[in-house]
Structure 1
């Protein structure tokens, strides 16, 4: 599934005469995100690139006025025709709880947000029903940055999924050991999603983890491109699974977090009834999980377990990462598996 939007969707405007598919305006030559995004009719041809792919398409809620609404309706018309049956859901706005003081008054409230959201989504739905009567009209909302406005009082009847965005931290003052390789930090970060999903359970809607990642703002060198981030992802994904909720100029490379996904897949296995449980440890820098298949202990046992090691020389390593002795570095075989010293190990965990 591909989400087309995010931070830039609230800066996107439609220009039918633009000779390019998309034009991004950046404030400086080194900026990561554009301040203005202009798209043309040919932009929507990009939805045909990936066959059999589901999409969430984001609309601009940040811009108000007649021209902004006209732009919204043009985009709705073109997007529904391009996406067709591959649509998952629509989305209006991104992290609008951060709007006060940016593009809304400081006293902008949850009530004002819901009223504006409903007014604009109603106009979009009307256009969709005219242009593509066979395409769905469901929305995922509210995609807030955290839970400032996302309270039980938020009840958009038109939403089909709900969720919020949430990163471990921003680029500063994050550290590898204190932020990403810290189990308590991970538990605290995910607890916000867990608590909110429970608070909104009365809506009886699927709760999704939106922009849930390590460091916001496109990550940071020394934090998200080193082996420590793979260890973070391993702990993060398994802890999520144990909870009651469902570059330009850079050569191709296999980044260390890729290995964590392999490790999580191996840990969860293929059984339909798999449940990972976290084993409490005394140290914040340790995380151990027992994985049960059909209520039977299967992997990473409490006393003695056969393990496949996710390994690298140091937590700040950018290459030489392996899972069970298998390396997927791009420079070796363009990302295909290369076996290096594959061995089986056992481990014993002491009582804590």
Structure 2
């Protein structure tokens, strides 16, 4: 069983806001007893790749370095999940010479059907981090998925788990799986029974237990949830086949012309409200003795519309990851879709329709991934220190001994650059006398001109003063480290609207200069 959420006897004292321009927090020298994560995974910030596009992602020069940068910060390569909508359109062909075979009218389209061959698995076989591999269930071809499962097990040394189907809530009554196993109907209960059947069949054929990542797209209002799925797993005695539970979740939608809103996305109180739903789901998974992941997530469905490549989305990544951790999520895989047609990607390429040429970019959200990976690196727990009702967030990362090692300060006030005066908020942190050595502490910023900035528009953010090459994803520049005065155990840090600051409470925690030489 996993450790409980609440284990500490000493609670944090949170002081009320003094004014709109300043808030005061008192940090305890030991871990608080509430709003705190489980023990952190070594690399909790991961990536998901759309199934048909995975070979294209592997062909980018930047992919290895972008993942490697996060690995340098975390001390372990980020987890990778290969799946998405097209995994449920894909069939394995052991005779196929190329990695993947499909036909589309435009390189920006996703295929309606595809096949993949043995060399597809080879693309994932050299990755040193955990790999979760998605298999087709919608087409109801169990033997084909068993064949692919056996190939994945034998080819990918770092295989963590297999996912059987992508988002079963989208299958519908007319899907082959519903016709074959659901009697022409498809509900969460029928899906759960199907998952259990497939888990046993794939696992027994492979001679493996603890092989499957079970889950759904989280829609508790419609019955799709781990809370609904897990009891079926328990009653059917299928938990031995399940290694973890993973759900898909997106706070906004860009599908069908739906409007997206950046100020809402990056709002701290909004993020707190949205991520609360994970707590009960995580509790169910943990009570079954299994980890709970967001196996596919990002800012908005259908690629994210006009908001997902902005600097505001980078800030959202930071707050969303930390708040998810506090609510029991143990790792998140941020989805990367069709190359050139998926605005929420962290890196990739865009096609200029006038010249028909591709241009590579390392997009703004990647800076948030770097920042939050650095914040969590080497930590044991992360706690939320504010009450979640304002624009201002304070997190503390604690080491294995329960001492605070870093703070994350986030000002989610929306700044779009149209005002000549950018508001600033002062965070006053007390209680540092017993938490840090005498003298100043070091801070770095995640910053840009405005929340609306986009790298592809020539508006480059920075993290710790560094930027990332658009072609190679290598860090560029000299680290910008700030010295923060601590007087009588109190420090004051100014954070601009739409900006975040990472405060190191101990020396030698993040080697930004070494990272800059990657």
Q: Does 1:98 align with 2:176?
A: no
Partner of 2:198: 120
Partner of 1:195: 280
Q: Compared with structure 1, are the counterparts of its residues 258 and 344 closer, same or farther at alpha carbon in structure 2 (3 Å cutoff)? A: farther
Partner of 1:165: 248
Partner of 1:54: 130
* TM-score of the aligned structures, taking structure 2 as reference length: 0.57
SS of the equivalent of 2:128 reads: coil
SS of the equivalent of 1:154 reads: helix
Cα distance in structure 1, aligned partners of 2:469 and 2:444: 21
What per-residue deviation string (whole Å, max 9, x for no partner) do you get for residues 200-256 of structure 1? Answer: 443121111221221122333x31111111111121122223334433544232221
The answer to whether the 8 Å contact 2:396/2:404 transfers is no
What per-residue deviation string (whole Å, max 9, x for no partner) do you get for residues 241-273 of structure 1? Answer: 333443354423222122223322444454x44
**Cα distance, 1:113 vs structure 2:** 2.0
What per-residue deviation string (whole Å, max 9, x for no partner) do you get for residues 321-351 of structure 1? Answer: 1223x121315995323037654464269xx
Partner of 1:321: 461
Residue 116 (structure 2) aligned to one of 26, 39, 43: 39
Residue 3 (structure 1) aligned to one of 73, 81, 94: 81
Partner of 2:428: 303
Q: Compared with structure 1, are the counterparts of its residues 34 and 102 closer, same or farther at alpha carbon in structure 2 (3 Å cutoff)? A: farther
The answer to whether the 8 Å contact 2:87/2:136 transfers is yes
SS of the equivalent of 2:298 reads: strand
Partner of 1:252: 360
Greater shift in the superposed pair: 232-241 or 247-256: 247-256
Residue 158 (structure 2) aligned to one of 86, 96, 101: 86
The answer to whether the 8 Å contact 2:444/2:481 transfers is no
Cα distance in structure 2, aligned partners of 1:291 and 1:74: 44
Partner of 1:312: 448
The answer to whether the 8 Å contact 1:128/1:137 transfers is no
The answer to whether the 8 Å contact 2:360/2:471 transfers is no
State the superposition RMSD in angstroms: 3.1
**Cα distance, 1:162 vs structure 2:** 0.9
Cα distance in structure 2, aligned partners of 1:186 and 1:194: 13
Q: Compared with structure 1, are the counterparts of its residues 327 and 124 closer, same or farther at alpha carbon in structure 2 (3 Å cutoff)? A: same
Cα distance in structure 2, aligned partners of 1:332 and 1:21: 24
Greater shift in the superposed pair: 137-146 or 298-307: 298-307
Q: Compared with structure 1, are the counterparts of its residues 215 and 73 closer, same or farther at alpha carbon in structure 2 (3 Å cutoff)? A: same
Partner of 1:207: 292
Q: Does 1:218 align with 2:303?
A: yes
The answer to whether the 8 Å contact 1:91/1:141 transfers is yes
Residue 63 (structure 1) aligned to one of 123, 128, 139: 139
Q: Compared with structure 1, are the counterparts of its residues 245 and 121 closer, same or farther at alpha carbon in structure 2 (3 Å cutoff)? A: closer
**Cα distance, 1:291 vs structure 2:** 4.7
SS of the equivalent of 2:362 reads: coil
The answer to whether the 8 Å contact 1:164/1:209 transfers is yes
Q: Compared with structure 1, are the counterparts of its residues 77 and 174 closer, same or farther at alpha carbon in structure 2 (3 Å cutoff)? A: same
Q: Does 1:280 align with 2:387?
A: yes
Cα distance in structure 1, aligned partners of 2:212 and 2:316: 31
Cα distance in structure 2, aligned partners of 1:140 and 1:196: 15
The answer to whether the 8 Å contact 1:5/1:58 transfers is yes
Cα distance in structure 2, aligned partners of 1:244 and 1:72: 31
Q: Compared with structure 1, are the counterparts of its residues 189 and 210 closer, same or farther at alpha carbon in structure 2 (3 Å cutoff)? A: farther
What per-residue deviation string (whole Å, max 9, x for no partner) do you get for residues 144-175 of structure 1? Answer: 34333323433242312112110111112211
* TM-score of the aligned structures, taking structure 1 as reference length: 0.81
Partner of 1:132: none
**Cα distance, 1:298 vs structure 2:** 5.1
Cα distance in structure 1, aligned partners of 2:174 and 2:103: 18
SS of the equivalent of 1:163 reads: strand
What are structure 2's unaligned runs of at least 5 residues? 1-78, 331-338, 340-348, 352-357, 410-426, 431-440, 485-491, 496-518
The answer to whether the 8 Å contact 2:279/2:328 transfers is yes
The answer to whether the 8 Å contact 2:285/2:291 transfers is no
The answer to whether the 8 Å contact 1:98/1:145 transfers is no
Q: Does 1:149 align with 2:221?
A: no
